[in-house]
Structures are given as C-alpha cells and as structure tokens.
C-alpha cells in the first residue's frame, strides 16, 4: 500500500481539463478582440504552462492553475463588459442623447485597446 500525498484528481468538482483548455483558448480570443497585447501574451504563456503541467501529471499544480485560469477568464469578461459600456456611452454622447463626458476637451473617444 503506497501513501499518496495528493490524491486529488484533475477532474475536481466535475471540471475536466478539456473544459479548462477550452476556457483558456476562449480567453485568448477575448484578449485578441480587446486588442490587449499584454493580456494576450500573459494568456498565451499561461496556456502553454497549463499544457506542460497537465502533460507532466502534476495534478496539484494543474488544479491551482485551473483556478487561476478561471479568474483570468472572469477578468477578461469584465473587461469586455467595460468596453461595451464605454462604446454605448460614446454612441449616446455622439448622438447628443446624454451630456458630453467622454468626448470633452477635443477627445474623440477613440482607444487603441481596452
């Protein structure tokens, strides 16, 4: 009988590794949509790290990485919501339905990334 220090399977709480990798790829796509270069590089490196950890069968690190991946994805979803709200307010200002706030002082409201 062998003693196992970490007997946690990577299919913890019904979340499979495939789900985590799909979520990571979707987060990578969201970073591209937001044109956030730094977040894209972080997510790309994180995806590679998760793959290496999964292939090396380091289950405890994979579970920790999966939780971090979920947090990164939630953060990117929050950034998408902020970008949508910004765009909505910008359209409302440019059609003169609300007072100018974003387009004040010769600011046209253009952003290169969110």
pLDDT digits (tens, 9 = 90+) for 29-67: 999 998 889 999 999 999 999 999 888 888 888 888 889
pLDDT value at 72 more than 70: yes
In the numeric block, the tokens 């910008």 are attached to 90
| 3-state secondary structure (DSSP) of residue 74 | helix
Cα angle: 81, vertex 71, 30; to 5 degrees: 45
State the pTM of this model: 0.73
What is the DSSP-derived secondary structure letter of residue 16? Answer: -
Rounded Cα gap, residues 39 and 31, in angstroms: 6
In the numeric block, the tokens 């307010």 are attached to 89
Rounded Cα gap, residues 90 and 78, in angstroms: 18
Over residues 11-22, the pLDDT tens digits come to 555 678 888 899
């Amino acid at each position: 009988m062998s003693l196992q220090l970490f007997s946690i399977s990577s299919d913890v709480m019904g979340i499979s590794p495939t789900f985590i990798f799909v979520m990571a790829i979707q987060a990578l796509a969201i970073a591209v949509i937001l044109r956030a270069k730094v977040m894209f590089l972080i997510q790309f490196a994180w995806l590679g790290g998760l793959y290496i950890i999964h292939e090396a069968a380091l289950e405890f690190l994979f579970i920790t990485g999966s939780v971090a991946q979920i947090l990164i994805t939630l953060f990117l979803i929050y950034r998408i919501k902020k970008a949508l709200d910004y765009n909505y307010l910008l359209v409302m200002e440019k059609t003169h339905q609300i007072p100018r706030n974003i387009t004040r002082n010769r600011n046209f409201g253009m952003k290169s990334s969110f």
